[in-house]
Amino acid sequence: MKFKGFVLGMSVWLGMTAAHAQEPLYTPKAQQVAGNVYAIVGPLGQRSEANAGLNANYGFVVTAQGVILIDSGASAHGAALLEKAVKAVTPQPIRWVLNTGSQDHRWLGNDYFARRGAQVHAQAATVQTQKASAEQQLAGLQRFVGDQLKGTQPGYATVVHAGPEAAVTLGGVQFEWVQTSAHYPGDTLIHLPQSSVTFTGDLVYVDRLLGVLPQSNVRKASQAFERLRALSPRHVVPGHGQVTDMAQAQKETGNYCRFLIDNIGSAARNMDALSETLDKFAAPAQFKHLQNFDELHRANMNRVFVDFESNP
């Protein structure tokens, strides 16, 4: 038994070393988007110790009264890394934290910033999903980031905006805060009209294929994308992928949602066979190049099919 434990321990250790060797340590770094608005663009792959679960995009706005941080990271450890990236830009403290959504890496750093005096804001529907999924998210994250989760407590917004749309001003910065419910129920986007920047949360993915989860709603996503088009931002900070513009967001997210609705949704409504439908639309040329396509596209189609089948 002792020997077996040793072998198991060795293979875990070797596995971890291999993973570390493949994946460079990710250090969050701010990039200026426009004026006093910054983005922190995370890696596109899965959560890991090397990226501290920060495989998503974050942002912040520097004001004379303090920093407004958009999304707080996947743990207290990840939150401290985001704080460092902010500190490299400004000595101002993080005074406000806004959550665009309820996926682990959007909010599990809330408690870290609240303990340092920040006020956490979110829409009511976002908090509802956070509360419903906190336990499961922490258990899931544990598998990817292990001991980095130590000291992480779920922390919820103390300033809750009713939604689905809210106009908020903090430190002289105006926000239009719009519910999308695209990836998770209660997901939002945050638009800054003064700088024409939108932080889309998990509504927009570029460079990689978006994921349709059992919690996702492709019809709501498509409607929210039209709302984003109406806002017409000059700069788009997507949930995942490089800072971009509406043209790329349209091509890689807006059009993909339409593709799923028009082809897979329609097939489900017509009561076509599931497997034939998935085969027929297996390799759309306009999306095949996106990272994670091979892992996600078929499952995405499957979920959309089932969604339209049960709710045509």
Based on CB atoms, which residue is closest to Zn ion, 218 or 267?
218
Site for Zn ion in 252-291 (CB under 5 A): none
Q: What is each CA distance from 55 to 72, 225, 282, in whole angstroms? A: 12, 22, 26
Contact 195, 34 (CB under 8 A): yes
Indicate whether 203 belongs to the interface with Zn ion (CB under 5 A).
no
Site for Zn ion in 42-81 (CB under 5 A): 56
CA gap 165, 44 in Å, rounded: 29
Min separation Cβ 127 and Zn ion, Å:
17
Based on CB atoms, which residue is closest to Zn ion, 202 or 252?
202
Min separation Cβ 211 and Zn ion, Å:
8
Residue from 71, 187, 202, 307 in contact with Zn ion (CB under 5 A)? 202
Based on CB atoms, which residue is closest to Zn ion, 195 or 217?
217
Based on CB atoms, which residue is closest to Zn ion, 170 or 182?
182
Count Cβ atoms below 10 Å from residue 96 Cβ, excluding itself.
23
What x-and-dash track marks residues 97-136 binding Zn ion by CB under 5 A? ------x---------------------------------
What x-and-dash track marks residues 9-48 binding Zn ion by CB under 5 A? ----------------------------------------
15-21, Cβ contacts within 8 angstroms, sequence gap of 24 or more: 16/49, 19/48, 19/49, 19/50, 20/49, 20/50
Min separation Cβ 190 and Zn ion, Å:
15
Strand partners of residue 189: 178
Based on CB atoms, which residue is closest to Zn ion, 89 or 213?
213
Based on CB atoms, which residue is closest to Zn ion, 57 or 195?
57
Phi-psi region of 27 (alpha: psi -120 to 50; beta: other; left: phi over 0): beta
Count Cβ atoms below 10 Å from residue 141 Cβ, excluding itself.
21
Strands (E), the chain: 30-34, 37-41, 57-63, 66-70, 94-98, 119-123, 159-161, 165-170, 173-179, 188-192, 197-199, 235-237
User: Among all chains, which residue has been given the structure tokens 């336990």?
Assistant: 135
Min separation Cβ 273 and Zn ion, Å:
32
Min separation Cβ 240 and Zn ion, Å:
6
Contact 229, 189 (CB under 8 A): no
Site for Zn ion in 137-176 (CB under 5 A): none
Strand partners of residue 261: none
Based on CB atoms, which residue is closest to Zn ion, 43 or 93?
43
Q: Nearest residue to Zn ion, using CB? A: 202
Number of residues in contact with Zn ion under rule CB under 5 A: 3
Residue type, 244: T
Binding site for Zn ion (CB under 5 A): 56, 103, 202
